[in-house]
Amino acid sequence: RKEVEQDPGPFNVPEGATVAFNCTYSNSASQSFFWYRQDCRKEPKLLMSVYSSGNEDGRFTAQLNRASQYISLLIRDSKLSDSATYLCVVNGGSSNTGKLIFGQGTTLQVKP
Amino acid sequence: DAGVIQSPRHEVTEMGQEVTLRCKPISGHDYLFWYRQTMMRGLELLIYFNNNVPIDDSGMPEDRFSAKMPNASFSTLKIQPSEPRDSAVYFCASREGQRGPQYFGPGTRLLVL
């Protein structure tokens, strides 16, 4: 089983749609969680950290479910510029401090 | 503030040549990571350092790859001799502490002919 698993997609949605991505992780000791965005031929960039209580940043909402070991990202009112690959990222856990584990990414294509 | 700086941005070389990639982390960050990304294998962690000390190099493909961090503001990743299968984008990233996010440099696109 992969340490961090994501549905690779692609997710093809029209502008204005709401889209949700899920991600599962295997290490129950993981303590830090993030969503990154990567545009074609660019470096991954931090989109948002994910907190236990859930957090929102504009049209983006992240949720963490520790019991089920999954993380979600919700994008409301999607824009053409949201087209990218979204990477779920998890801290390696108490036995592997400092190391972040990246999922393979979920590709989103927003169409006019 | 300057982000992570990598050089060169592009490198084209011939098989058998030595390649050196350079990275300057964000000032104050105590973790530095080297990644490789290809379409086939995605993003792979090669090695990471904490306070200039290599912590985990299990991702380094083979002895042709080596990485150093002589001080807190500079790291190199060297491939000697290079092979066509080393062609990829190499990213450097840095991080402050064990809990925070990583910040990536723009990457070095390496093509080995």
Contact A31 B99 (CB under 8 A): yes
Determine the pLDDT at residue B98.
82
- Say whether pLDDT at B23 is over 90: yes
- Say whether pLDDT at A95 is over 60: no
**A43 closest CB neighbour out of B45, B48, B91:** B91
**B105 closest CB neighbour out of A43, A97, A105:** A43
The token pair at A5 is 């698993």
Nearest partner of A90 among A79, A109, A103, judged by Cα: A103
What count of Cα atoms within 13 Å lies in the side-chain half-sphere of residue B102?
A: 29
A53-89: pLDDT as tens digits: 889 999 999 999 999 999 999 999 999 999 999 999 9
A91 to chain B: closest CA residue: B99
- Say whether pLDDT at A97 is over 70: no
- Say whether pLDDT at A96 is over 70: no
Q: Is B43 on the interface with A (CB under 8 A)?
A: yes
Contacts of A4 in chain B (CB under 8 A): none
B50-91: pLDDT as tens digits: 999 999 999 998 899 999 999 999 999 999 999 999 999 999
Instruction: Report the distance separating Cα B30 and Cα A108, nearest Å.
Output: 33
Q: Is B101 on the interface with A (CB under 8 A)?
A: yes
Determine the pLDDT at residue B41.
87
Determine the pLDDT at residue A93.
61
Instruction: Report the distance separating Cα B66 and Cα B18, nearest Å.
Output: 11
Q: What is the mean pLDDT of residues A2-15?
A: 92
Q: What is the mean pLDDT of residues A32-56?
A: 93
Determine the pLDDT at residue A57.
93
Contact B104 A43 (CB under 8 A): yes
Is the Cβ–Cβ distance between B6 and B106 less than 8 Å? yes
B30-50: pLDDT as tens digits: 999 999 999 888 899 999 999
